[in-house]
DNA sequence: ACAAAACATAAATTAAAGTTTATATAATAA
DNA sequence: TTATTATATAAACTTTAATTTATGTTTTGT
């Protein structure tokens, strides 16, 4: 049953955190690992569950995999919106901060490099 | 986090079956046990999870506890509606049939009894 | 061709959730 | 008051899901 898989995917805090992060736009796995401060296989596992449930999409580019929200149908769109609105607490804010720091660090590393020369 | 509890409550097939049954109106625990063809403590456990998540309400009357859907707020109403619409498969139909048979049996047992004399 | 980075997958472990079995409680009927 | 019915709760057990640790794959940089 499709709907059961969707609710199961949404019934885990780590996965709600990932969805909230993706609200800000596409992210690669290492961004998510940095933001959640968790293990890389752990993040991959949860991303897989979310993808199977049709809540996120992936896009491969070189050695990176970028994930973004999949809200092409009404039901999923509503659920994702609900997560954005109703998922609250310090965890999400902290994730957002860690992500910011990490992304900033990435930018710094690229200073002075020409396109396609970065990490 | 409230939303997490709601999704957790919805991430189990037995509980979706209970919600679907309650679509038809209030039921007592023994109705649900009969419809699901499961154990009474099992049904009580799942009813408890659904109640804690605010998806159903209970009403005590004599030795019975009657449960019904709680759709007083928009979000829960939408989720419950989604379950009604999107939960599909033979299980639900079978539950409905078993419930019908059981309720019919109850009625029969009451034939010829004055009010408050039957089960 | 070799090394390193980004991610995925698999096996082993741990933790959480669901089921079963037994017992308790509360209300009604006899 | 004793027995019975409807339900709840608790403890033991089983199943499922999540985490950890180790390794594999692919792509890119040197």
* Cα B33 from chain centre: 9
Residue A89 CA: distances (Å) to CA of A58, A95, A106, B89 = 27, 11, 27, 37
Q: What is the pLDDT of residue A116?
A: 41
Cα Dmax for chain B: 52
- Stretches where chain B sits below pLDDT 50 are 112-119
Is the residue at B114 inside a domain? no
| Residue in chain A nearest B5 by alpha carbon | A11
Is the residue at A24 inside a domain? yes
Q: What is the pLDDT of residue A113?
A: 45
Work out if A25's Cβ lies within 7 angstroms of strand D: no
Q: Which domain CATH number covers A7?
A: 1.10.10.10
Q: Which domain holds residue B66?
A: 2-106
Residue A1 and residue B78: Cβ atoms within 8 Å? Answer: no
Is the residue at A57 inside a domain? yes
Q: What is the pLDDT of residue B118?
A: 38
Provide the domain count of chain B. Answer: 1
Q: What is the pLDDT of residue A32?
A: 98
Q: Tell me the pLDDT band of A112, cut-offs 50, 70 and 90.
A: very low
Is the residue at A61 inside a domain? yes
Residue A60 CA: distances (Å) to CA of A25, A29, A52, A65, A115 = 15, 11, 16, 5, 18
Q: Which pair of tokens denotes residue B95?
A: 């539950």
Is the residue at B37 inside a domain? yes
Q: Which pair of tokens denotes residue B51?
A: 């109640």
Is the residue at A32 inside a domain? yes
pTM of the predicted model over 0.75 = yes
- Mean pLDDT over A105-110 rounds to 72
Is the residue at B115 inside a domain? no
Suggest the residue from B2, B3, B92 to mutate for an interface test with chain A (most A CBs closer than 10 A): B3
Q: Rounded distance, CA A87 to CA A81, Å? A: 10
Using a CB-CB cut-off of 8 Å, the residues of chain B touching A1 are: 13, 16, 87-89
Taking only the tens place, the pLDDT of each residue in A27-66 is 999 999 999 999 999 999 999 999 999 999 999 999 999 9
Nearest CB to A11 within list B2, B8, B82: B8
Tell me the nt nearest to A48, Cα to C1'. C8
| CA–CA min distance A58, chain B (Å) | 24
Is the residue at A94 inside a domain? yes
């Amino acid at each position: 049953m499709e709907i059961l898989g969707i609710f199961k995917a949404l019934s885990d805090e780590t996965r709600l955190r990932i969805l909230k992060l993706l609200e800000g736009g596409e992210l690669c796995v290492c961004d998510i690992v940095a933001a959640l401060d968790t293990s890389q296989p752990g993040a991959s596992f949860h991303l897989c569950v979310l993808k199977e449930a049709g809540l996120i999409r992936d896009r491969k580019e070189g050695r990176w995999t970028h994930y973004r929200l999949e809200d092409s149908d009404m039901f999923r769109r509503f659920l994702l919106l609900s997560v954005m609105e109703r998922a609250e607490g310090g965890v999400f804010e902290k994730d957002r901060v860690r992500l910011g720091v990490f992304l900033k660090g990435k930018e710094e590393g690229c200073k002075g490099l020409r396109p396609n020369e970065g990490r």
